[in-house]
A and B are shown apart, each in its own frame.
Chain A
Amino acid sequence: MQAALFYIFAALALVCGFLVVANPFSRNPVTSAMCLVLTLVWLAGLFVLLEAFFLGAVQILIYAGAVMVLFLFVIMLLDLRAEERRRLKRLGLVGGGLVAAALAVLLRGVIHEAAPAAAAPPAVEGTTEALGRLLFTRYLLPFEAVSVLLLVAMVGVVLLSKKELK
């Protein structure tokens, strides 16, 4: 059951991921963004199958929710209709596909050879609580560093997207 669900989610995620990058049916960036949402949702499913329940929820809330709204908002704001007509470079796509395939084959071989033998995994309970505890004790410094990072992003975005009045 678990394995079957894993393969279904993984296949859907990979297909949608491919459609983000190269969509044979549509040149519209909005379609790509919607495919990205779907990829991230299927991946959240994979996270849940791996028993990272909290991260699955975060993935949907932050990635599929907030980040995607940002993407769509910018695409609509810039009104990219004129951009759609540009042709994708065939050569680049073929090259990119080859790179992806080579990487996957390499990793597949390497992983198969070297992946540590998986022990029978114990049931995971209460990870969210452990995670919260960790964030406010051992990972306090990185946690605060992320708060600084969000401030940086805020200041930077305001600075960049403000229209100059001059």
Chain B
Amino acid sequence: MNNAAYIQLFKLAGPEMLIALAALAVLLVDLTLMRGAPVRARRVIAVLLTGVGGFAAALYLLQVPLRAVSWGGLWAVDPLTQLVKLGLVGLAVLTAVLSLEADYTDHVGEHFALLLLATVGLMVMAGAADLVLVFLGLELTGLSLYPLVALNKAGPRATEAALKYFFFGALAAAVTLFGFSFLYGLSGTTNLAGIAAALRGRGFDPLLALAVVFSLVGFGFKVAAVPFHLWAPDAYQGAPTPVAAFIASGSKLAGFFLLGRFVALALPESGDAGRAALFTPGWVPAVAVLALASMVLGNLAALAQRDLKRLLAYSAIAHAGYLLLAVLALNGAANRPAALAALVYYAGTYALAGLGAFAVAGHVERHAGAAALNHLTGLGRRAPWLAAGLAVFLLSLAGLPPLAGFPAKFYVFAAALNTPHAGAVSLGLVVVALLLSPVGFYYYLRVLKLAFVTESEKRPAGPDAPGNSPQGGENRFGVETAVALLAAAGVLGLGLFPQWLLGPLQAAVREAGG
């Protein structure tokens, strides 16, 4: 009947289709051809299929330069969204490689299929330009990640972590939808650009402020900003490490990109007529509060952690605070391209460093049974490559100059200081962020001190470490080491030459029209 519509669909959503097809292929092959094969072989095949699907999607993204806002502004395809999707596919493939050692489950096909389908959800989030797709992308990602968190059924904590993740997620989704319903009612459309056009020039409207604040809840949950962060430490700790790595990297990148586009496209900027105008659209003060709370609470709570994965979770919350500064800087059309580029650069490099750090945590967890900080003692001697990778990631997260975290912070702060109409607020937040930097340094260096300096006199063997190979096997060059080295090379390269990523990003932002 309407072949034309489907042809258009295949063209404009090609990469998403390829990833979804890869998911179906993984399921099919694992449940038919590989039935009864050893689990290890099934995992290798699944990783290979994931890699093929990811490669095909990446090729499509690179080779087919499309630029369209299609279906009446439902779906945006431009260089910027393509670039972000490329990053998401890359993170998914790295996560799949990490999952090669996923000996916590026998459901290989389902595991990799859900990982791929979560990637489809993230890509939908990246391209969405309509409330319907925003919501579907958020839900698609969520519904594939909840079962993944609960994958390790033998572990006592995975189901609990998934339960918390699910209930926070479902509640946040309902509140966000309530906000969306008011946005629809006030503007008469679900299209992001249409909403902005309909809302422009409105005075202070309590209903609009309410709609905006409600809408932001779901995004706050997705990016784990305080006070919607309560699930994050539990989910990160209880989830299988590759899944936690994916939540910390892919979900974060797509979440922030979507939040940035939502704010930039759909919400009116605040006017320049005095202080009251700042509150006109409602989202500026709301995002400022989220940013402040996330920075302070994330950094301070990270100090008290004794588990590497929990520490990374609180550090992720702190970084969500810094990223919200870039979101705040999207207020004001002149500053928008620089702020959007800084936001994506920060989120991308953060995702890489976070993924790498989780790869190291996964290695430690597999050999010591848990990723408590004191299991790190002597890592520098036992697994020097991994320990070096960990040092690169943590120092980058702390924002040390030759690494990617430094330019990322620099550009975000610069964009924040240029924010028009909200200079005082942004200045205050940047000052808070700088004051909190030493705190970050302290807890990252504490981890590194354990890994490199502290001698492990009483080895964490015995009851703490049911790992099957206390000494010999740990030095073997495993997938975690490979992924960690790859990510470390990326973090170092992007730190030394930020223009490698920032250049294409700025060009893409310009071409996408800000």
Residues 5-30 of chain B, each 1 if its beta carbon lies under 8 Å from chain A, else 0: 11011001100000010000001000
Contact between B72 and A138 (Cβ–Cβ < 8 Å)?
A: yes
- Of B41-49, B205-213, B309-317, B414-422, the stretch lying at the interface with chain A is B205-213
Residues of A within 8 A of B136 (CB): 142, 145-146, 149
Residues 142-185 of chain B, each 1 if its beta carbon lies under 8 Å from chain A, else 0: 01101100110110000000000000000000000000000001
- In the assembled complex, the CB of B87 is this many whole angstroms from the nearest CB of chain A, namely 20
Residues of B within 8 A of A48 (CB): none
How many residues of chain A are within 8 Å of chain B by beta carbon?
32
Contact between A151 and B206 (Cβ–Cβ < 8 Å)?
A: no
Residues 446-482 of chain B, each 1 if its beta carbon lies under 8 Å from chain A, else 0: 0000000000000000000000000000000000000
- Of B107-115, B239-247, B354-362, the stretch lying at the interface with chain A is B107-115
| CB of A85 closer than 8 Å to a CB of B | no
Contact between A138 and B71 (Cβ–Cβ < 8 Å)?
A: yes
| CB of B75 closer than 8 Å to a CB of A | yes
- In the assembled complex, the CB of B437 is this many whole angstroms from the nearest CB of chain A, namely 38
B121, B124, B136: which has the most chain A beta carbons within 10 Å?
B136
Residues of A within 8 A of B235 (CB): none
Residues of B within 8 A of A84 (CB): none
Contact between B132 and A142 (Cβ–Cβ < 8 Å)?
A: yes
Residues of B within 8 A of A155 (CB): 27, 110, 113-114, 117, 147
Contact between B124 and A145 (Cβ–Cβ < 8 Å)?
A: yes
Contact between A110 and B114 (Cβ–Cβ < 8 Å)?
A: no
| CB of B485 closer than 8 Å to a CB of A | no
Residues 118-146 of chain A, each 1 if its beta carbon lies under 8 Å from chain B, else 0: 00000000000000000011111110111
Residues of B within 8 A of A113 (CB): 206-207
A138, A140, A146: which has the most chain B beta carbons within 10 Å?
A140
Contact between B139 and A149 (Cβ–Cβ < 8 Å)?
A: yes
| CB of A160 closer than 8 Å to a CB of B | yes
| CB of A1 closer than 8 Å to a CB of B | no
Residues of B within 8 A of A164 (CB): 153-154
Contact between A152 and B6 (Cβ–Cβ < 8 Å)?
A: no
Residues of B within 8 A of A140 (CB): 5-6, 8-9, 71
Residues of B within 8 A of A149 (CB): 136, 139-140, 143
CA distance A145 to B74 in the complex (A): 13
Q: Which residue of A lies closest to B147 (CB)?
A: A156
Known A149-B136, A160-B147; judge A141-B206 contact (CB<8 A): no
The list of the 9 closest CB pairs from A to B, nearest first, reads A156-B147, A114-B207, A110-B206, A145-B136, A159-B110, A152-B144, A138-B71, A142-B132, A152-B117
Provide 26 A-B residue pairs closer than 8 Å at the C-beta atoms, listed in order of the A residue: A110-B207, A111-B207, A113-B206, A115-B207, A136-B5, A137-B5, A137-B71, A139-B71, A140-B5, A140-B6, A140-B71, A141-B9, A142-B74, A144-B9, A144-B13, A145-B136, A148-B20, A149-B143, A152-B114, A155-B110, A156-B114, A156-B143, A157-B147, A159-B110, A159-B114, A164-B154
Given A139-B74, A158-B110, 15 other A-B residues pairs in contact with their CB atoms under 8 A: A107-B210, A110-B206, A111-B207, A116-B186, A139-B132, A140-B8, A140-B9, A140-B71, A142-B74, A146-B136, A152-B114, A152-B143, A155-B117, A159-B107, A166-B154
